[in-house]
Amino acid sequence: RFKYELGKPLTWEKDGKTYTFTLEYAIEINEELKKNPAFASEMQSIWRQVAVQRYEGIYAQIPDP
């Protein structure tokens, strides 16, 4: 169960639209990431925040031994 949750693509909302980090999305934004440092920084921040939320949520579900 946890393995599945950890392996799912990250998903987030921005400006009322839901995004999922898939291979297709990565290809779509690749050039913008390379040429726009502000965009790259924003994306890194979003991905980090969403990943931490996911990891903390999963950690909270793990029963104490």
Q: What's the CA gap between 14 and 20, in Å, rounded?
A: 11
Domain that residue 30 falls in? 2-61
Render pLDDT for 9-57 as a digit per residue (tens, 0 to 9). 999 999 999 999 999 999 999 999 999 999 999 999 999 999 999 999 9
Question: How many domains is the chain partitioned into structurally?
Answer: 1
The confidence score (pLDDT) of residue 63 equals 87
What tokens were used for 51?
A: 């990943």
Rounded to 10°, the helix 37-61/23-35 angle is 140
Please state whether the predicted TM-score (pTM) of the whole model is above 0.95: no
Helix (H, G, I), strand (E, B) or coil at 53: helix
